[in-house]
Amino acid sequence: MKNNKLTINFALALIVWSFCIYFSDAVIFDRLKLMSYDLLFSSRMFWAKPSKEIIIIQLTSSDIKEYVTPWSRSKIGELCKALNYFGADQILLDFLFTKNQEEQIMVNVVKEEGNIYMPFILRIVPSIGRFEINETFLPIQGVIDNVKGMGFVNIDADLDGKIRRFPLYYKKGDILFEHVVLKMIRDKFRLKINNITSGELELSNNNNVLKIPSDQNYMYLNWYGKWERTFSLYSFSDILHAYQDLQDQKPPKIDVSFFKNSICMVAALAPGMHDVRPTVLEHDYPGIGIIATAYANILQDNYLKKVPRWLDLLIVFIFVILSPIYYATDKVSKWLVSLVLLSIFAIFPILFCFGSYSDPSLPFIALLFSYITITLYNFASSKLEKSILVSLSNTDQLTGLNNIRHFKEILKAQCKATKKNTGKCFCVVLCDIDHFKSINDTHGHLVGDYVIANISKAIKCSLRDNDIVGRYGGDELILCLRDVLLDKAYMIVDKIRNNISNIVLNHNNNLYKVTLSMGVAVFDPYEDDMDSVIKKADEALYIAKERGRNCVVAYGK
């Protein structure tokens, strides 16, 4: 029995495992995955440092007061010239120049400097299971013709509006749109797109191969920490003042050596001017910081890689299998299983620290469902087993009727209830199969047992659902007819007696007919108890036998 239960528990665990795997792509699981992803980041103790090559130049409120009133694109031109003078390798201007008036200045700037990258925006319409790219929002044509490189700067949020993934590219038919980060990386290392799969973007040149782990066209961002503590930040004025100081042969207030071979990203970060997005670390994270994070991830080979699908399935399988093992062990072993479970849970943050991401929500849900399912099964199984044992202990094995012990328990409760409510009534009936001893002596006990079993079945089928019947002992049966007085009980019992006398029993092609003698007594709530009412019915039965059997006698009549 114990082995059968263990086998069923394992089977239930496997069913739960299959169920969780099948529905793992449901929306509710997607939200749980996002929550577990955030939890892993928030509990991270060790943060990698981003490359010092990446520098962010921010247009602040004070810069606006100093340079932008009135606004002149020439100041951006001076900034680019200064950065190149400091030795910058690449410059990303996170501005969109779309007007033709003063924008000619920017055309000259990008043409002269030769290492400036500009963004454009894809207009993306979500549709079922994919994205439709309707059009692009581009800079003026002169900028497009002279810029070093261009790429889109769209960043897509997850279901809850937070940024966790970074789009490397979009495809529309045979056209591939690159993110500006991917374009800048390819140019920096002279890489070509070699191969695109659902799990990897492969870039290569004559000497090297760069493989970027991806989920379709997205890479998971491996954050470096809070925004202000992550990247090297300089203001617009810091750069222009330092450049002017060098021109005037004065020592600059900032160390311009940091700009040698740097990747400079320029964006407006003044309040109300910049693009901020909610991330797992901060509610207001600048868009340029997200771009810089993606660039640093690729530059440093610091990816957040999803573990293989088979490993995810294996972890879920281990979790669900622990539930039946937990149930099958003793108290000491349960502690050991719990310790193993906690150790396995520790794998997720450890893997995360080393840049591998396995979703802990699915194993946890699978474990929870497995435990609940097995608990409910074991509870129901125990209740059923207990019910069967109680039924066996209360039932006569030959007839399937209540045994006399259980019958008396019910009858005692009936007597107590009737004494409390004298408006209720019931009658007790004792039945005896006439000449049963001669049947046993002549035809054997097997025939006798057959007769008792079938007569008992016939009597039980003749009674109402609320009436009770039990085996009193030997060939005697006892009945409790509820909610009837003596006259009504007499009519019911006499009808049963008459039906039994007309039954022909067939046992191994031998036919048998029997009759019943029956005594009926009504319970008097003022005088009787359980024993006295049974005694009255027994006395009535004795009189029935004295009158020649096959009859019914009501006590007192």
Do 416 and 512 sit in the same domain of this protein? yes
CA angle centred on 301, ends 262 and 277, rounded to 5°: 75
User: What single-letter amino acid sits at 321?
Assistant: I
Q: Is residue 38 part of a domain?
A: yes
pLDDT along the chain (557 residues), means of 10: 74 87 77 85 80 90 66 78 94 76 72 89 67 67 84 89 92 88 95 91 92 91 87 91 92 92 89 77 90 95 88 87 78 75 81 84 87 87 82 86 93 94 93 93 92 94 94 94 95 95 92 95 94 96 95 92
Of 220, 205, 257, 307, nearest in space to 85 by CA: 257
What is the SS3 string spanning 275-336?
Answer: CEECECCCCCEEHHHHHHHHHHHHHCCCCCEECCHHHHHHHHHHHHHHHHHHHHCCHHHHHH
Last residue of a domain, one of 249, 276, 301: 301
CA angle centred on 304, ends 17 and 181, rounded to 5°: 135
Do 148 and 295 sit in the same domain of this protein? yes
Residue 195 to residues 158, 191, 192, 200, 210: CA-CA distances in angstroms?
A: 26, 12, 9, 8, 11
Do 225 and 112 sit in the same domain of this protein? yes
Phi, psi of 109 (to 5 degrees): -65, -50
pLDDT tens across 228-253, in order?
Answer: 788 999 998 999 999 999 999 899 99
Q: Is residue 161 part of a domain?
A: yes
Q: What DSSP string describes 442-508?
A: HH-HHHHHHHHHHHHHHHHHHS-TT-EEEEEETTEEEEEEET--HHHHHHHHHHHHHHHHT--EEET
Q: Is residue 306 part of a domain?
A: no
Which structure tokens are listed for 251? 């020592």
Residue 18 to residue 34: CA distance in whole angstroms? 22
Residue 63 to residues 69, 75, 84, 239, 246: CA-CA distances in angstroms?
A: 10, 11, 20, 11, 20
Q: Where are the beta strands (DSSP E) in 391-457?
A: 426-433
Do 376 and 401 sit in the same domain of this protein? no
Q: Is residue 163 part of a domain?
A: yes
Do 34 and 88 sit in the same domain of this protein? no
Of 277, 264, 274, 292, nearest in space to 93 by CA: 264
Q: Is residue 7 part of a domain?
A: yes
Integer Rg of the chain from CA: 45
Predicted pLDDT at 128: 47
Predicted pLDDT at 19: 85
pLDDT tens across 489-502, in order?
Answer: 999 999 999 999 99
Last residue of a domain, one of 360, 386, 412: 386
Q: What DSSP string describes 97-139?
A: ---SSTTHHHHHHHHHH--EEEEEEEEEEEETTEEEEEEEE--
Residue 2 to residue 24: CA distance in whole angstroms? 33
Do 193 and 166 sit in the same domain of this protein? yes
Residue 66 to residue 237: CA distance in whole angstroms? 8
Torsion angle of alpha carbons 90, 95, 101, 107, nearest 10°? 10
Phi, psi of 308 (to 5 degrees): -55, 150
Residue 471 to residue 399: CA distance in whole angstroms? 8
Q: What DSSP string describes 14-71?
A: HHHHHHHHHTTTSHHHHHHHHHHHHHHHHT----PPPPTTEEEEEE-HHHIIIIISS-
Q: Is residue 311 part of a domain?
A: no
Structural domain for 373, as ranges: 2-42+318-386
Do 73 and 125 sit in the same domain of this protein? yes
Do 481 and 336 sit in the same domain of this protein? no
Last residue of a domain, one of 330, 357, 386: 386
Do 173 and 75 sit in the same domain of this protein? yes
Predicted pLDDT at 272: 60
Relative to beta strand 54-59, strand 232-235 is parallel
Do 269 and 328 sit in the same domain of this protein? no
| 499: CATH | 3.30.70.270
Residue 352 to residue 37: CA distance in whole angstroms? 9
Q: Is residue 366 part of a domain?
A: yes
Q: Give me the number of domains the chain comprises.
A: 3
pTM of the entire predicted model: 0.69
Do 365 and 456 sit in the same domain of this protein? no
Q: Is residue 391 part of a domain?
A: no
Phi, psi of 549 (to 5 degrees): 70, 180
Cβ–Cβ < 8 Å for 497, 516: yes
Do 197 and 169 sit in the same domain of this protein? yes
Predicted pLDDT at 371: 86
Residue 90: its H or E element: strand 90-93
**3-class DSSP state for residue 424?**
coil
CA angle centred on 491, ends 530 and 439, rounded to 5°: 75
